[in-house]
Amino acid sequence: MKRPKFRFSDARRRYHIFYLLTLVLILVVVGRLFLLQVLQGAKWARITEDQMTNSIRRNTPRGRIVDRNGEELAVSIMVHSLYVNPKEMNETPAALKGKKEVRDTAKVAAEKLAPVLKMKQDELYSDFKLKGQFLWIKRMLEPPEYEAVKQVIKENDLPGLHFIEESKRYYTKKSMAAQVLGFVGTDDSGLSGLELALDSVLKGAETRQVKRVDAMGRTLAGGEGDPSDTKEKPMVA
């Protein structure tokens, strides 16, 4: 049986085909890179920045209300509010010391925090197991309560639980002149009386603190932006 004769023209044709296919592939890759990096570069940069940052709202203290003698009638102090990042809590392996199994961090957190926060354990557990990266657990903690919660988080190495400083309103005369002074809501906005009438003057400035996070929503080391200015608003007499 005769072997087919090798033809130089066939080899050259195959080389040209391979060369053209390679060139087309390179052009496709370059075109795709041009589309992503140049034409859609700004869009993907925004998406990447959104995925790598977590913005948290912060308020400066609300202005004081004083009487004609300068005695304080309404004053705000900065207190801590507790929130959870469920994604960070539930996707962070927390192996028990000396054991191979992984603990249910949400269950441990609910069990330890329920008596401190005076909340139901099953409700806390349900909140901790929700999807997402931000959920309020309890707003405006009193200083002793904040210290107790912080201690529980530290002792049990509980990820995903964080604090935000917020302005809380106190009325020094209790119910005296309450109808005149009015009151504020949880968001620090005036709802009645002088608090409402002078809200634009008294209300603290709203700012945002940006935190850099990883793919699991965990705050990166050195990733917290500088807290915004927390100077108190001027007093109103």
Tell whether the torsion through CA atoms of 98, 99, 105 and 109 is positive or negative.
negative
Residue 177 CB partners (closer than 8 Å, separation 6+): 73
Inter-axis angle of helices 105-117 and 121-128, nearest 10: 140
Domain boundaries, the chain: 8-39, 51-224
| CATH architecture for residues 51-224 | Alpha-Beta Complex (3.90)
SS (H, E, C) 132-155: CCCEEEEEEECHHHHHHHHHHHHH
Q: List the pLDDT tens digit at each of the 237 positions of the chain.
A: 555 555 556 667 777 788 888 888 998 888 888 887 777 777 766 666 665 666 666 667 888 888 888 888 888 888 899 999 888 887 755 444 444 557 788 999 999 999 999 999 999 999 998 888 888 999 889 999 999 999 999 999 898 899 988 888 888 887 777 778 887 877 778 888 888 888 888 877 766 666 665 555 555 555 454 444 444 454 454
Residue 234 CB partners (closer than 8 Å, separation 6+): 63, 201
Torsion of CA 134, 138, 141, 144, to 10 degrees: -110
